[in-house]
Chains A and B, each alone.
Chain A
């Protein structure tokens, strides 16, 4: 530019000294034209400068996309971890076939060889190789190829035929958390569960091998540019793998033992609302989701199922009564004659003949229906239903999962004394498991209702920087800390002295409550068809984990929450002790034995032994085997635990 300007000034300062006057007019006009010419050249140079500097970026971008052809490279989906970094959803790398028809010179022979390797007809393959497009995929035969097939194609070294990396979702634990994590489709797109909800985070962005091409699609001898795919954002759940594995295992056992219509469980940190485990039966294998019915896939029972809670709901009535100060558990008495009549309706206690005279603590321990009816009537419908609402029943908890139900609570206008009475012991309302565990958490954690959640954080794969983080979210205070302490104490004695004895764990303070609810069909209670449940927590004085388990229509067993669900919940609680490293309590209460009950014996360690040695060592205990093989891989309960001799020790087998 500088040279141009100096030239310009030389020109305009040019002197016509010595010119003949006659030519003066001509020379002036030449000078004018020269100035115009110089001006136009400066304009052109200026325009070039403008194009190359001002619109450089835009033009270069357009031009690069014109010249370059992309061979896409699929990004990995974000990995899903449990709270301790155990991988719950991973990626494996596969290869897929990509064709660049312009580079395929011999279309017939290329189509023939590819058709025979992939098992596609020659005509179809010929259409693919001669398609007028820059990049052609052979879908679905050419996707996610096995190594053998990919190798065969690679060996042919055909021009215009490329094998590119594709990531495929892999669930190392198969059915574990299937409903919660969900699954992905052929293009790695989230279709259900967390995979769907957080799809935009989990999905990475495509990378590419860019090569330059001429306008006819031929490859130019310019270096390729590798654009790294941007992997999806990793997700950490609040799930604890050990507790989850325990729950999955226990539900599998209950399914094989009792062949129920369904079974489900949730474990939660009552002080935060973090879900530690969540499982549902029937389950499915997310990598073969198309083999299952939509009901099986879509119904995440712990948040979807609504049913009469039965006695576990008494915790709400108990908490309300304690918080309102209408009952002194240790000193107030109630006489249970086996039934109570409310407005002409007779409501029976589950125990034929009733429990006789009891303190209200014993009412709770015995899960005595007439006792709770009395509490409900004392509270009145406004107060009881106010607490029910405040505990979160009748509306979604807002857990970060799809498919949550509301449940159904009586409309207050339609609540008469009978409805009030049945609601007080858990009949005539319809709730979800997640509502129950969330409400009971509030009752035992000092009275604070938390919003449950399962996604702890989303982190960038490279830097691990936080994209999104969920923190415990307080909904509101439901009951006072003092009331909560009393509820904990009452629920601990349910396990020590009452219906929850099957959940007792030696050396730990356990609180809990059983539930047995008749299922309703077409407005009538079904005969001999119950949902039996148990909700338990430990340590009872400072709860760290709460577990809810429900079994729908267990067969071949007396259907009580205490007999079916409590042992399952207990096993999960036992595994939670080690998973969460909860210390033993010196002040743990002793279980109160009923007359004729045997004392506890400590179990020895048999893990690692062969079957016969283990049998010898465990003589006197009843043993159940799971799995196949000759070596014990796991025992439940663990060595050092004390159990009743007639209780079952479960041994898991595997081959060495």
Chain B
């Protein structure tokens, strides 16, 4: 790959999947949009505006040397922390869907937790570069960054936004894994997590019921199983080629807010198994390219940053998809590029801009 040329595969995959997302947001949302706002184009216009802004940002950022984030890492991070604190203060942050995660600007909303996702990756990448020699030591190397991670996680859980919190924790743990933290650490973390889950079930047996209702959603079809059943009703009848564009039935008030967390169900309903395959290939291409950029970078910071960004997108996508197809309980995570959400799309496109710049900077 020649120096200073853009990574075409990544750029085209990202543009394709985002445009497909906008089309699907229209299809999934016009019924609700018309019902709630008397304007079937409400969601698709919002998303379109963010997409254009996002693409412009992406192209600009792809020309900004990524090493600048190394310099400004602490600044970004502190700004994000302040925003996270501000947003949970009633009167400043506004509540949507039960979480105080938004700064409302007109009809647009901005989620500081979305920015935090990126800023914490930058911060951790720098941390790993600076503490390369002591990262093998749990107390000196790992514990400080874990402390910062749990501070951020705690702030996000105050909103509360469990899904975003989990993505942040997992993408940082992914980075630590890459950065050479001892395997035993992850083993211990897994055991602690397992005991934690068992403990939580022993303390409150209703959690077991929720897990059972996830395994068999029909045991509680109007409660815990509702969303997953509605999602399966969309995926199941889709078949190989689906009902065709705009012909979803579940979006007619059966599936709540089909343009956000469950957009994958609507894609499956309208385009069938083939649609799912194409979306998965696009995601895998983006992830594969992102990892390749990470591997190809000869700068350690660039390596960590590229991996962190890619891994975060991959983890979020997998988390969303596993919920939608009923592999794990509902967590409330959106699908990158495809789900409705301005801040999320904007930040994701900016992250891709960084990736493009890392790719561009390779020898």
Report A's interface with B, CB cutoff 8 A: 1, 3-4, 7, 11, 16, 19-20, 23, 25-27, 29-30, 33-34, 37-38, 40-41, 43-45, 47-49, 51-52, 55-56, 58-60, 62-64, 66-67, 212-216, 220, 222
The answer on a CB contact under 8 Å between A44 and B253 is: no
A63 to B178, CA, bound (A): 45
Q: Which residues of A contact B303 (CB under 8 A)?
A: 23, 26
Contact of B237 among A23, A34, A59 (CB under 8 A): A59
B95-115: contact bitstring with A at CB < 8 Å (1 yes, 0 no)?
A: 000000000000000000000
Would you give the shortest CB distance from A114 to chain B, in whole angstroms? 28
The answer on a CB contact under 8 Å between A41 and B180 is: no
User: A4-B284, A43-B322 provided; 14 other pairs, C-beta below 8 A?
Assistant: A1-B277, A7-B281, A19-B295, A25-B180, A29-B180, A37-B314, A44-B325, A51-B235, A51-B325, A55-B232, A56-B236, A59-B232, A63-B233, A63-B236
The answer on a CB contact under 8 Å between B281 and A52 is: no
A322 to B211, CA, bound (A): 86
Q: Is B72 among interface residues, defined by CB-CB distance under 8 A? A: no
A49 to B276, CA, bound (A): 10
The answer on a CB contact under 8 Å between A215 and B254 is: yes
A40 to B322, CA, bound (A): 9
The answer on a CB contact under 8 Å between B239 and A52 is: yes
Would you give the shortest CB distance from B280 to chain A, in whole angstroms? 6
A52 to B291, CA, bound (A): 31
A1 to B281, CA, bound (A): 10
The answer on a CB contact under 8 Å between A51 and B232 is: yes
Q: Which residues of A contact B252 (CB under 8 A)?
A: 67, 213-215, 220
The answer on a CB contact under 8 Å between B177 and A29 is: yes
Q: What are 29 A-to-B residue pairs whose CB atoms are below 8 Å?
A: A4-B280, A11-B288, A26-B179, A26-B303, A27-B295, A29-B180, A30-B294, A30-B295, A33-B178, A34-B288, A37-B318, A38-B284, A41-B318, A44-B280, A51-B232, A51-B236, A52-B235, A56-B237, A59-B235, A59-B236, A59-B237, A63-B234, A66-B254, A67-B252, A213-B252, A214-B253, A214-B254, A215-B252, A215-B253
Q: Is B249 among interface residues, defined by CB-CB distance under 8 A? A: yes
A25 to B283, CA, bound (A): 25
The answer on a CB contact under 8 Å between B280 and A30 is: no
Contact of B276 among A27, A29, A45, A60 (CB under 8 A): A45
Q: Which residues of B contact A55 (CB under 8 A)?
A: 232, 236
| Given A47-B325, A48-B273, A59-B237: A30 touches B291 (CB 8 Å cut-off) | yes
The answer on a CB contact under 8 Å between A52 and B238 is: yes
A213 to B252, CA, bound (A): 8
Would you give the shortest CB distance from A6 to chain B, in whole angstroms? 11
Contact of A52 among B174, B236, B283 (CB under 8 A): B236
Q: Which residues of A contact B322 (CB under 8 A)?
A: 40, 43-44
Q: Is B216 among interface residues, defined by CB-CB distance under 8 A? A: no
> DSSP majority for the B interface?
helix
Tally of B interface residues using CB under 8 Å: 45
Nearest to A37 among chain B residues (CB) is: B314
A215 to B311, CA, bound (A): 38
> DSSP majority for the A interface?
helix
Q: Which residues of A contact B89 (CB under 8 A)?
A: none
Q: Which residues of B contact A30 (CB under 8 A)?
A: 178, 291, 294-295, 307
The answer on a CB contact under 8 Å between A52 and B273 is: yes
The answer on a CB contact under 8 Å between B318 and A29 is: no
Contact of B284 among A19, A41, A59 (CB under 8 A): A41
Q: Which residues of B contact A60 (CB under 8 A)?
A: 236-237
Q: Which residues of A contact B254 (CB under 8 A)?
A: 66-67, 214-215
Q: Which residues of B contact A34 (CB under 8 A)?
A: 287-288, 291
The answer on a CB contact under 8 Å between B253 and A216 is: yes
Q: Is B272 among interface residues, defined by CB-CB distance under 8 A? A: yes
Q: Is B305 among interface residues, defined by CB-CB distance under 8 A? A: no
The answer on a CB contact under 8 Å between B283 and A63 is: no
A241 to B177, CA, bound (A): 93
The answer on a CB contact under 8 Å between A37 and B235 is: no
Kindly name the residue among A29, A63, A64 whose own CB sees the greatest number of chain B CB atoms within 10 A. A63
6 cross-chain pairs, A with B, having the tightest CB-CB distances, nearest first: A59-B236, A214-B252, A215-B253, A63-B233, A47-B325, A60-B237
The answer on a CB contact under 8 Å between A45 and B284 is: no
